[in-house]
Structure 1
Amino acid sequence: MFNEPQTALILGGTGRTGSLVAKMLTERGLSARTASRHGSDVLFDWDDTTTHADALAGVDRVYLVTPIMRVTYADQVAAFLDLAEATGVRHVTYLSTYNGDKAPQEVDIAAVETGLAHRQAITHSILRPAWVMQNFSDEHLPVIDGAITVPTGGGTETFVDAADIAAVAVETLLHPDAHAGAQYAPTGPQALTVSEVADIIASVSGRPVSHHDIDRDTWINGAVAAGVVPADYAVMLRWLTGAIVSGNGSTPNDDIEKVIGRPPTTFRDFAQRNVHAWNAPAEG
């Protein structure tokens, strides 16, 4: 089916995994076209369907990143995939979420997974990664006034490097037939509390860092009130944090090593590689 590789379309092409997927694919000899609203090879806007056909021209595989900061998008994705099928796409690798098949009904993560599985002309691979380590080095869970503020109830998560997620995605895009129907859950090698993450950041940066395990409702309501997330996204935050609080956060597995042939990155290695993120002037 894929004897003559063409071009992979990378949605979210400037994002944490998308930019890495594009770079790695190019290094491996497959043409990669990044697509997003700003800064990519082509303009792509989920809400402007006139941008979809140009993005898909000459493409035979897609790295699918759904609209961010919203919970309802299954119909938009289905329409895009209809067009993708019609224009020659034969494989889709979907960036889902850990336990995405068990997401709340109000969130369209599982609906997209199901929709992909029902398509006959397109093979697919599903990636359900744990929380990414980059959350701690960017604006998602920054160190502010010496603390990382997020509700976890002392629970653990196997934080995973976005580069490892991208490496798994690359294999599925380079060898779609070998990964058709695959469901991978990329995780880090260790289940860590956020307090343990804070200790590692402190040890590599030389800065005191602690975990402020805030009340979950206070944190979610504050994010909505501050305009950080839209009000309907609260259900997503409640689900994601609730898994950790209840002790049902992600657990280590061998999916990364099984697909790319090496163990996943440890949080300490990630922190040492990104120490500059915490050595910048403190916010607060």
Structure 2
Amino acid sequence: MTILVTGATGRVGRIVARELVAAGERVRLAARRPDGDGDRHQVALDFTEPATWPAAFDGVRALFLVRPPAIGNVRRDLLPAMAAARDAGVEHVVFLSLQGVEKLRGAPHALVERWLAESGMSWTFVRASFFHQNLLTPHGSDIRDRDELVVPAGTGRTAFVDAEDVGAVAAAALLNPGAHAERAWTVTGSRALDYHQVVEVLSAELGRPIRYREPSVARYVRHARRHLDMPWPMVAVTTAIYTSARLGLAAGLTDDVETVLGRAPIDLADFARRERAAWS
């Protein structure tokens, strides 16, 4: 069975691919523009370019799906490709989704979930909470260069998760589709932290004090554009995420990582210790 991994160079996709290869699976790595490093397992896949679909989907029985951030209109720019994948013989789709998306019916991820549930293919939704890795990108330069974390989250708590755990759960669903079919896993860490606690963890691991600054939304937007070089779409997304945290909507915890992987999730302190050099 060939497994197609979309977003194969991204934060989660590369982990999924690594886990599948380690398990001995035949993996095809899809990217909008393959990097041309000579990897014969790479394939071009642009969800908006039907000419790229046949080669990408040929012989594929399972698919890891990541919605590209640039695609907002999923009905027009993503779902036709998924229909083509189904028609080409794809039987199971593992979709990287968002924690709480079932309450956001108009969100792009929610639309994809509903379509997949009615597509005739089997499916698994991996609904991830807020990644540890966001403290590296886009907020890494604040921590590294200014010893501060600037987000408008107030005292709200966030159920952080490590991308390693998200990728491992997705890979498990691809390796054993029958055990994960028609399941929605909400993948979180084991504790929800406010950002005062986050900087305490970072300060302890980095050996220097990191401050938490709590700007207004307007000041955060200016900071994100001026100091973090954050594009407008990401400014909008992160503002919504931190507003959700401030309102107490991002703190939900599950034991799904332990249920699927048989181990505890990676803790923020372990992540900070692992990635210490990135903030040095």
1:125 counterpart residue number:
124
Q: Does 1:100 align with 2:95?
A: no
Change over 3 Å in CA distance of 1:270–1:222 after alignment to 2: closer
Matched residue, 2:81: 80
Partner of 1:111: 111
Unaligned stretches of 5+ residues in structure 1: 1-5, 280-284
Deviations 1:147-176 (A, max 9, x none): 111110111111101000011001110111
Aligned residue in 2 for 1:66: 67
Task: Report how far residue 88 of structure 1 moved.
Answer: 0.8
1:50 Cα offset (Å):
1.9
1:220, distance to aligned residue in structure 2 (A) = 3.5
**Aligned in 2, Cα 1:51/1:224: closer, same or farther, shift over 3 Å?**
farther
Partner Cα distance (1:252, 1:230) in 2: 30
Separation (CA, whole Å) in 2 of partners of 1:217 and 1:115: 36
Q: Which residue of 2 aligns with 1:236?
A: 237
Alignment correspondent of 1:26: 21
**Alignment of 1:245 onto 2:240:** no
The residue aligned with 1:198 is: 199
Aligned to 1:217: 218
RMSD value, Cα: 2.0
Identity of aligned residues (%): 30
- Larger CA deviation: 205-214 vs 135-144: 135-144
Contact 2:97 2:125 (C-alpha < 8 Å) held by counterparts: yes
Would the aligned equivalents of 2:105 and 2:111 in 1 still touch at CA under 8 Å?
no
Aligned to 2:259: 258
Cα distance per residue 1:188-247 (max 9 Å; x no partner): 11111122111211211123211111212332365468873345x665344322210101
TM-score by length of 2: 0.90
Structure-2 separation of matches of 1:215 and 1:13: 36
Contact 1:92 1:124 in 2 (8 A): yes
Q: Secondary structure at the match of 1:15?
A: coil
Would the alpha carbon gap of residues 237 and 138 (structure 1) be closer, same or farther in structure 2, given more than 3 Å must change? closer
Could you say if the C-alpha distance between residues 74 and 208 of structure 1 is closer, same or farther in structure 2, counting changes exceeding 3 Å? farther
Segments ≥4 residues shifted beyond 6 Å: 224-227
Q: Is the 8 A contact 1:220 1:237 kept in 2?
A: no
Q: Which runs of 5+ in 2 are unaligned?
A: none
Deviations 1:39-76 (A, max 9, x none): 37122223333222211121111100011145322332
Is 2:124–2:184's contact at 8 Å kept on the other side of the alignment? Answer: yes
1:134 corresponding residue in structure 2: 133
Q: Is the CA contact 1:20–1:166 (under 8 Å) kept in the aligned structure 2?
A: yes
> Counterpart of 1:8 in 2: which secondary structure?
strand
Alignment coverage as a number of residue pairs: 271
1:166 and 1:56 mapped to 2: Cα distance?
Answer: 21
Cα deviation for residue 257 of structure 1 reads 0.4
Do the aligned residues in 2 keep the contact of 1:98 with 1:250 (CA within 8 Å)? no
Closer/same/farther in 2, CA of residues 135 and 227 from structure 1, 3 Å limit: closer
Cα deviation per residue 1:12-61 (whole Å; 9 max; x = unaligned)? 00011100100001111111111112437122223333222211121111
User: Counterparts of 2:56 and 2:206 in 1: how far apart (Å)?
Assistant: 42
Between 31-40 and 159-168, report the one with greater CA deviation: 31-40
Using the size of structure 1 for normalisation, the TM-score is 0.88
In 2, are the aligned partners of 1:188 and 1:252 still within 8 Å (CA)? yes
Structure 1 range deviating more: 41-50 or 73-82: 41-50
Which amino acid counterpart does residue 117 of structure 1 have in structure 2? Answer: A
- C-alpha distance in 2 between matches for 1:70 and 1:79: 13
- Alpha carbons of 1:227 and 1:266: their partners in 2 closer, same or farther (altered >3 Å)? closer
